[in-house]
Structure 1
Amino acid sequence: MQQIVDFILELDKLKGVTRKVKPTGLDRYENSAEHSWQIALLALSLAPYVHHAVDMDRVVALLLVHDIGEIDTGDTLAFAEHGWAERKAAERVAVERIFGLLPAPQAQRFLMLWQEFEDGVSAEARFAHACDRAMPVLLNLNNQGQSWRENGISHARVIARVGPPIQAGCPALWTHLEGRLLAARELGWFGA
């Protein structure tokens, strides 16, 4: 029991990992724990729009574990273009440490879920990736491109980063977002 308690208390640190986008109506940046919770609910809400059978419990589990490594590594702007291989290697070390607080069978299960998300091969992982990529877009569309403008993120860079995974995991969501992103470009909501 104490191993589980230690693990859960370690997860509390995810609340202190600051991201680059602000929650709707707030003058602070969201944290990674809030992000994980919100995309899990986004996935459950989008379930009727998935064109292939997915295990929604597995999708939610993938989304709840996917950013746990950020406890040690911090967050990287979703639209960053370089350093991903090094970042993912550091996150792997972090999740091995954090999941290692649990009894071995649970640690292995969570590590396998994290790796499934990273690999992005299963239908569940593709859908989870779509939700993960969509959430910063939805927040930016709701706050006039706040993090895109603050970080100099262009429309082309957003499309290149989020378009393929959202299209692959939830085409209906991409159809919806693509038009909204074009409108946002016309409104000047992107950086240079």
Structure 2
Amino acid sequence: MSESPTSPLGAELQGTLAFLRAAESLKYMTRTSWTSNGQQETVAAHTWRLCLMALVLAPHFPGIDVGKLLRICLVHDLGEAISGDISAALQASLPNKAEQERADLVQLVQPLPDTMRADLVALWDEYDAASSPEAKLAKGLDKLETILQHNQGVMPAGFDFLFNIEYGAAYTRDHPVLAALRTVLDTETQQRAREQAAPPEAS
């Protein structure tokens, strides 16, 4: 028998559906990145591959709670469902960016049950402060996924590839696997920058 919308469980499920409907905007909120077929990347697409990275690299993370790592990855950009993404290059000029994103997250999760709402905000706070091994790994993987997409995508003319050489380096240098991935991606970044700077071939 289905739950009545006025029963406690029915009301909880209605709230969950309201949250999921609001989070749907992440499927069309775009980032300052493009895919290999020229489509502008969405926040949801970035989060999906970030989670995939965490999953397939998990054997290299002994002692890490992989379930928690994945939850942090899923939540880290959830607030962008309301105000959208701000590129890393612009974040330095927006000192209140984290405060705004947290406020958006708190607004987004309002329809959820109290415990779930508190859990999601706590995971975001943990990520923002990089206050656990899982949060630090999520930060590093987030930077690597961003750089990977920039290197792989059809980026617009004049895109500043070399910005990525220092981007998020503090979060990728301490773990050996992240550092090794960073070395490969930095080499690719430098190659993309050289290709962009090269004069076009005469036809």
Q: 1:19 aligns with which of 26, 31, 35?
A: 31
Equivalent runs, 1:115-154 vs 2, <5 Å: 115-143=125-153, 146=155, 149-150=157-158, 152-153=159-160
Identify the match of residue 192 of structure 2 among 174, 179, 184: 184
Which amino acid in the other structure matches residue 17 of structure 2? V
Match 1:91 to one of 101, 105, 118: 101
* Contact 2:136–2:171 under 8 Å retained in 1: yes
Task: Give the letter aligned to residue 167 of structure 1.
Answer: R
Q: Residues 69 and 189 (structure 1 numbering): CA distance in 2 closer, same or farther, change over 3 Å?
A: farther
What is residue 60 of structure 1 aligned with on the other side? Answer: 70
Higher helix proportion = 1
Say if 1:79 and 1:158, in contact at 8 Å, map to a contact too: no
CA distance in structure 2 between the aligned counterparts of 1:163 and 1:67, rounded to whole angstroms: 19
Indicate how the Cα distance of structure 1 residues 22 and 75 shifts in structure 2: closer, same or farther if over 3 A, else same: same
For 2:189 and 2:141, how far apart are their aligned partners in 1?
16
Q: Residue type of the partner of 1:54?
A: I
Structure 1 counterpart of 2:187, which letter?
G
For these two proteins, the number of residue pairs brought into alignment is: 184
What is the TM-score normalised by the length of structure 2? 0.81
| 5+ residue gaps, structure 2 | 1-12, 199-203
User: Over aligned residue pairs, what C-alpha RMSD do you find?
Assistant: 2.1
Change (3 A) 1:184 1:20: same
Partner of 1:100: 110
TM-score normalised by structure 1 residue count: 0.85
Equivalent of 2:166 in 144, 151, 160: 160
- Partner Cα separation in structure 1 for residue 67 and residue 88 of structure 2: 25
- Per the alignment, do residues 81 and 103 of structure 1 end up closer, same or farther by CA in structure 2, a change over 3 Å counting? closer
User: For residues 42-89 of structure 1, what are the alpha-carbon distances to aligned partners after superposition, in whole Å with 9 as ceiling and x for unaligned?
Assistant: 111222334x52111111111111111112221111333523431111
2:22 pairs with 1:10: yes
SS at match of 1:30: strand
Deviates more, 1:101-110 or 1:164-173: 164-173
Answer whether contact 1:19 1:77 (CA < 8 A) is retained. yes
CA positional deviation for 1:182: 3.1
CA distance in 2, matches of 1:189, 1:125: 36
SS state of the match for residue 20, structure 1? strand
Partner amino acid, structure 2, of 1:20: T
- Residues of 1 paired with 2:47 and 2:191: CA distance? 27
Q: Percent sequence identity over matched residues?
A: 24
CA distance in 2, matches of 1:176, 1:55: 26
* Equivalent in the alignment of 1:39: 50
